[in-house]
Chain A
Amino acid sequence: MDSAIEIKDPNLLLHIHNIRTVLKTRSGEVTPVDGVEVRIPYKKTVGLVGESGCGKSMTAMSVMGLLPRGGRVVEGEILLEGEDLLIKTDVERRDISGNNISMIFQEPMTSLNPVMTVGKQVMEAITLHQNVSKDEARNRVIDIFRAVGIPEPEKRFKAYPHQLSGGLRQRVMIGMAMVCRPNLLIADEPTTALDVTIEAQILHLMRKLQQEEGTSILMITHNLGVVAEICDSVYVMYAGKVVEHSDVFELFDNPSHPYTLGLLASMPSTDSSKRLYNIPGSVPTLKNLPDGCRFCDRCERAFDRCSKEQPPLYDIGNGHLVRCFLFDKEGRA
């Protein structure tokens, strides 16, 4: 694993290096993640944004080792503090991930066990990975419930998931994810099912926990508002590839990929009522990808080359990467 040593960057907690994930479906093999590179520095929040089917969740599942049956990472490396998770055995990987990486999901109702009290479930997360007494674990659960803003934590300890509101359930999930003090929290659409006032509370809570615990966060979302609210840097994905990456301020100041521009222009904003831009057409299916740039069928600025060749990522300055031939200084027709 020479390359692992070569690309090891001491500032990175997690380096998803050029991974390709394939899935077996009834109608053949598809590649939902095709050469994706994501760098997550210590104590930072990194956004992975795109529409359904762009591969953002599959990227997260590749990191977690939770791919559906028939799914596997066939290329690349997933380096956690420089160690490639993909060459570990299942048992080794469970140990490493269990203590270092936690994940929260979109739907807190379906990811909590309905017949177990929420306190017990969070306790289980502690006792599975750490060697502590029951009393100690119980106290830590109540502490974490208090930290994530659950009112009356002693009482809620004994509540079942259905007795809690959506916002409280998501707080339980965050508590469960944070209780082992992970280095990395992967949040897959954590606020999508919540009301805006609750969403604002949860985002605030995540930011607070990050400041206090120094956790890195990989925030997976379709909502550019959430990205602007909480992320330090952003990766925009489209049809299995990263199409744009930069620092969050740069991305919103200077969005450059036609897809990112289209996404921003099609978002209804509370600041203006002007007509929305709409990106024509819809996302190509993975079985039916264009030969050239994957966005070229929907792109108003596409030219000849776009339908023939796949564009690489061009660096347009300060680490701002754009996968578009419009930024090829030499080769523009």
Chain B
Amino acid sequence: MNDGINKDVLVQAKGLVKQFKDKGAVVHAVSNVDLTIYRGETLCLVGESGCGKSTLGRLLLRLIEPTAGTVMFEGKDITAMSHEELRNVRKRMQLIFQDPYASLDPRMSVARIIGEPLRIHKVGSPKEQEQKIEKLMQDVGIPLEYKSRFPHQFSGGQRQRIGIARALALNPELVVCDEPVSALDVSIQAQILNLLYDLQHQYKLTYLFITHDLGVVRYIATRVCVMFLGKICEISNTEDIFCHPRHPYTRFLLSSTPKPDPKQRKEDKDLLQGEVPSPIDPPSGCRFRKRCPYAKPICSEKEPPLIEEQGRQFACHFPL
């Protein structure tokens, strides 16, 4: 549903690696990831917990320092920037968080929360800031008379709207949405997803949308990047991912998602066995092989590279 993206590169990550040290052990959260985000698109990062999708999102904003690799934002390497330079670029990239309860300061009024980025970056006069805050409140659907209310006086959905208004205050180019609707009820989730979709067009935004919910992916994504244990399995446009997945993991993710139709009840053969292996000691070769029903000896010996075929990328020795 997002047609007409120009292939104008906004973010380009090369060889990104993030390792965390945990009591002497090394956690391989993100391993050698190359990723491109085009201007105006919604790229969804999807995968199960612990696959490194949130870590990757934070690396792209340099909210955490990569162990190795570079991130280019509008052609400039943000991993090599000083903090001073980074502050300026940061205006153009914002984050929306999962938990609308934890991400708003309980002692600040709504107007202060939304206006804080403007004050920090000294954008406009106090009067202009005031106008901007009102405009943002209207755009996200918070009534203006609630300006001096505090976060606890709002429902989860309204809080998420406030978080979105704050993220849009500086007219960013890129917004990283980290599970923005996972904590919300279905009827509220739909309101927020529709809002995010509308704002993307109104503000000409590029989204990196992190989620584990494939229904949400289908609705909002232009392209989808499927991750497993710190690696990219597959990147493709949304239609292809859902209709013709090439990586076995993608297919299992799709078949595992419960469908709201009792006539489509799953056959047991479509169940993915086992659990996600530990990122402390990832399997050799293909990281998915221990859960993969199609795994052959080569899968444990050689890591499948991310190859491109007919505009689609996937990392599998035996693609579907």
Residues of A within 8 A of B (CB): 51-52, 165-168, 195-201, 203-204, 222-229, 231, 248-249, 252, 262-264, 266-279, 282-283
- The reply on B271 being an interface residue by CB < 8 A is yes
The residues in B between 161 and 190 inclusive whose CB is less than 8 angstroms from any CB of A are 185-190
- Taking chain B's interface residues, is the majority helix, strand, or loop, or is none over half, making it mixed? helix
Query: Could you tell me the distance between the alpha carbons of A201 and B186 in the complex, rounded to whole angstroms?
Result: 23
Q: B202-229 CB contact bits vs A (8 Å, 1 = yes)?
A: 0000000000111111111000000000
Q: In the complex, what residues of B have CB within 8 A of residue A271's CB?
A: 218, 242, 259
- The reply on B145 being an interface residue by CB < 8 A is no
Please judge, given known A-B contacts A222-B185, A229-B266, A278-B187, whether A272 and B257 are in contact too, CB under 8 Å. Answer: no
- The reply on B36 being an interface residue by CB < 8 A is no
- The reply on B1 being an interface residue by CB < 8 A is yes
Q: In the complex, what residues of A have CB within 8 A of residue B151's CB?
A: none
Q: How many residues of B contact A (CB 8 A)?
A: 48
Known interface pairs A228-B262, A263-B187, A273-B219; 18 further A-B residue pairs with C-beta atoms within 8 A, sorted by A's residue number: A52-B185, A165-B275, A165-B276, A196-B48, A196-B253, A197-B252, A199-B256, A201-B272, A225-B257, A228-B264, A248-B262, A270-B215, A270-B218, A273-B218, A273-B238, A274-B1, A278-B190, A282-B157
Query: Could you tell me the distance between the alpha carbons of A255 and B276 in the complex, rounded to whole angstroms?
Result: 37
Q: In the complex, what residues of B have CB within 8 A of residue A229's CB?
A: 258-259, 262, 265-266
A-B CB pair tally, cutoff 8 Å: 137
- The reply on B122 being an interface residue by CB < 8 A is no
Q: Which residue of B lies closest to A149 (CB)?
A: B273
The residues in B between 227 and 283 inclusive whose CB is less than 8 angstroms from any CB of A are 238, 242, 252-266, 268, 270-273, 275-276
Q: Give the distance to chain B from A156, nearest Cβ to Cβ, in Å.
A: 13
Q: In the complex, what residues of B have CB within 8 A of residue A262's CB?
A: 187
Q: Would you list 8 pairs from A and B whose C-beta atoms are within 8 A, ordered by A residue?
A: A52-B185, A200-B266, A224-B260, A266-B186, A268-B215, A269-B259, A279-B187, A282-B188
Q: In the complex, what residues of B have CB within 8 A of residue A195's CB?
A: 48-49, 212, 276
Query: Could you tell me the distance between the alpha carbons of A222 and B216 in the complex, rounded to whole angstroms?
Result: 16
Contact B263 A267, beta carbon cutoff 8 Å: no
Q: Which residue of A lies closest to B189 (CB)?
A: A266
Q: In the complex, what residues of B have CB within 8 A of residue A198's CB?
A: 48, 275
Please judge, given known A-B contacts A222-B185, A252-B261, A282-B155, whether A197 and B219 are in contact too, CB under 8 Å. Answer: no
Query: Could you tell me the distance between the alpha carbons of A267 and B266 in the complex, rounded to whole angstroms?
Result: 19
Query: Could you tell me the distance between the alpha carbons of A19 and B212 in the complex, rounded to whole angstroms?
Result: 37
Query: Could you tell me the distance between the alpha carbons of A55 and B104 in the complex, rounded to whole angstroms?
Result: 28
Q: Give the distance to chain A from B253, nearest Cβ to Cβ, in Å.
A: 6
Query: Could you tell me the distance between the alpha carbons of A262 and B218 in the complex, rounded to whole angstroms?
Result: 19
- The reply on B194 being an interface residue by CB < 8 A is yes
